[in-house]
Amino acid sequence: MDSKYEPLFTPWKVGNVEIKNRIVMVPMEGTNMIQWEAKTGYVKGIEEFYRDRKDNNIGLFIPGLIPLISIVGEKWVYKHPEVFEPVKPVIEEIHQSGAKIFFQLSAGAGRSMILPTLLKPFVKKGVLKTLSSKVIMSKWWWSAPDPDEPNVWDPDVKMDLFTSEMISQFIYAFGQTAKLCKDAGVDGVEIHAVHEGYLLDQFAMQYTNHRDDAYGGSLENRLRFACEIVKEIKKVCGDDFPVSLRYSVCSMTRGFNQGAVPGEIFDEVGRSMAESEKAIKILEEAGYDLFNCDNGTYDAWYWAHPPVYAPLNINLSYVEHIKQFTSKPVVCAGRMQPDAAAESIAAGRIDAMGVGRQLLCDPEFITKIKEDRIADIRPCIACHGACLPFNGMNGKGTDIDPMHPDMGRCVLNPWTNNEKKYSKAPAKNPKRIAIVGGGIAGMEAAIQASLRGHSVTLYEKSDKLGGVFNAAAAMSFKEKDKALLEWYKRQLENSGAEVRMQTEITDLSSLDADIVIVAIGAHARTLNIPGAERAVTATDFLNGDVQVGDNVGIIGGGLTGCEIAYELALQGKHPFIVEMTDYLVGARGICMANSTMLRELLRFHEVPAYLNATAESITDDSLVINTAEGRKTIPADSVILSVGYTPDKHFEPADKKKKTASPQFFFIGDCDKVGSLKTVVKQAYELVQKISYA
């Protein structure tokens, strides 16, 4: 192990509980052991998820949250101790590995609750509130500290008042539920949270709490709910039972659904650093033993769930600062890198590194650091494509695609949270497999097939592996995408697959194989408008094949077009976007954290966007567009087309529909149907499963 990582592997204490190293797996959706939202009970199969990680040098596990009361039916978890029985063997296995485990308990979401938005399309206005409160969703999930504050996902949705009587019931429930956790064998609990704009955070912040009772007004009053919770737990479970708090150091919030971006000077409406310095002292005095820290609220969601546009170690300086105001240990999460964390721990500026999505992407992350196998770590690219696929579509949050089956999974590692669905066993009948195309789909299929014992030959017509992902990874803020390409190349090299570069296949039937997998990608679309030949495609620009001027028009305000605009702004150029819909980055499948941060960065860099607009023509020095206000001529030295892709059908239809026993033909990736990295990887992975075990 490189000596710079040694501080990560030193022991530390939370209260009287000693933890073997400084690695904390922070709570995430999909890592819950007890699911208490829409159903009651233990999450079947979750033990396989933890078995992949318990022997991989994680010091402290904090699984996904346990709501104190169910969304449906108002079932209090403390009244159902039987649901803790199935988790005891999993807890014991974690303890046998030398690790510790805290269970996270939640008071709920308040105005950040998404369910009202999901119900809205199915009920009439005026009926929604009654139906949700009495039939579908309990009052506990429909209530907030201040009913005048609109729902995050839909400003038209109003919440009910979270009453002082409800607070008292919750405080009691926290103590009783913590006791069940302790009796089940967990080493401590974490309270969720004065964090991310959830219910307790809404009580804590002045802009979401305008109460005039004992739980509103002064900072002490606004923190009273959180303080009374820890006091109740200590009373029931004992002073030596550790209680952690998930804590947002700063809110990074400009206003309703308005977040700040790194480096921006703004007026904080939530918890400022000056207030946080006071708050953490009050919370420590109340009895909290650990602060599990990051930043943000649901109005600035990307601070708590930093996407690819967020700097690495985005929250570290904030957490290092707040540690100076508490004697208790602090954990820092948010795109944390092990070298930066180790340095900060060694200097006493933080106590532990919080790791989330990287452990979904690669369960052996910490083991590979310890064993000096850094190059073998599959890097998390902060895409949120499967771990947190909450979509906000139209700027108001009224069209959401949340909580689908991929929650808590990983775009790059389909095995995660599918351990019961997939197999890693040797293939039943190994085949000779030819793969045409060395992009992500082709490489993924080659690696997975080789690992299962198939004989694989991959053909790539160019001198570079990676396909269109080389362009996607080219932008300056995509260092992890570049690392992913190198990881794929290394894994392919080590897989045993034969790779033939600069070998173009023109006839699939000439391949000596049992199975032929075609993964030749897609072509960039163009526009049929005057002057289109003057434009360059997004792929050509990103690959460095062409240079652009200072004023750059980008036709297409989807993900790629907006990323290019951001990249050009970082270079000091002056891009503008022309988008035919009324919304930037509006496609399904893009997490709200990613799309919102990208839009906020474009705002911060003052990138103009012409919405509901179409391109009419391109001249030598301008882009002519049609808008609702009429025709506009905008100066443009260069124009970039980012209007999507069409599948490469070079080998269709004859080969795709050929009905022969051998070889079998399969088309995957963008040549089958243009999709995303998620669809490409999953399709390749599942095809190998089908070939290997059918």
CB 366 within 8 A of CB 56: yes
CATH number of the domain encompassing residue 249: 3.20.20.70
In order of 61, 85, 611, the CA distances from 88 in angstroms are 14, 6, 55
Q: What is the pLDDT of residue 571?
A: 97
Q: What is the pLDDT of residue 333?
A: 98
426 part of a folded domain: no
What average pLDDT values come out for the chain (694 residues) when binned by 10 residues?
Answer: 96 98 95 75 88 97 93 86 94 98 94 70 50 56 89 82 96 98 98 95 97 98 98 98 98 96 98 98 98 97 97 98 98 98 98 98 98 98 88 45 63 96 96 98 98 98 97 98 98 97 94 96 95 96 96 97 98 98 87 94 98 97 96 98 94 59 88 95 98 94
Q: Indicate whether 587 and 495 sit together in one domain.
A: no
Tell me the residue range of the domain where 578 lies. Answer: 526-643
415 part of a folded domain: no
Q: Indicate whether 137 and 208 sit together in one domain.
A: yes
425 part of a folded domain: no
Take residue 380 and report the two structure tokens written for it: 């998390």
Burial class from Cβ neighbours inside 10 Å (0-12, 13-18, 19+) for residue 273 reads: middle
392 part of a folded domain: no
Residue that the structure tokens 């100076």 belong to = 324
Residue of 42, 50, 78, 198 with catalytic role: 198
CB 67 within 8 A of CB 36: yes
Take residue 57 and report the two structure tokens written for it: 């040098």
For residue 494, which phi and psi values (nearest 5 degrees)? Answer: -85, -5
Q: What is the pLDDT of residue 73?
A: 74
How many domains, in total, are found in the chain? 3
Take residue 324 and report the two structure tokens written for it: 């100076």
Q: Indicate whether 66 and 162 sit together in one domain.
A: yes
C-alpha–C-alpha distance, residues 623 and 372, integer Å = 53
CATH number of the domain encompassing residue 674: 3.40.50.720
CB 548 within 8 A of CB 571: no
Total residues found in the chain within this entry: 694
State the number of CA atoms in the 13 A half-sphere of 463 facing the CB.
0
198 tagged catalytic: yes
Residue type, position 455, single letter:
S
Coil, helix or strand at residue 255: strand
Q: What is the pLDDT of residue 121?
A: 54
CATH number of the domain encompassing residue 630: 3.50.50.60
Q: Indicate whether 491 and 547 sit together in one domain.
A: no
Q: Indicate whether 356 and 231 sit together in one domain.
A: yes
Q: What is the pLDDT of residue 397?
A: 42
C-alpha–C-alpha distance, residues 265 and 271, integer Å = 15
522-524/645-647 β-pairing? antiparallel
Take residue 134 and report the two structure tokens written for it: 């009495």
CB 317 within 8 A of CB 360: no
Q: Indicate whether 129 and 275 sit together in one domain.
A: yes
Q: What is the pLDDT of residue 249?
A: 98
Q: Which of 121, 36, 153, 37 is nearest to 87 (CA)?
A: 36
Entry pTM: 0.94
Q: What is the pLDDT of residue 40?
A: 61
Q: What is the CA radius of gyration of the chain?
A: 26
Q: What is the pLDDT of residue 413?
A: 98
Q: Indicate whether 59 and 171 sit together in one domain.
A: yes
421 part of a folded domain: no
403 part of a folded domain: no
In order of 387, 420, 522, 686, the CA distances from 669 in angstroms are 21, 25, 9, 12
Residue type, position 620, single letter:
D
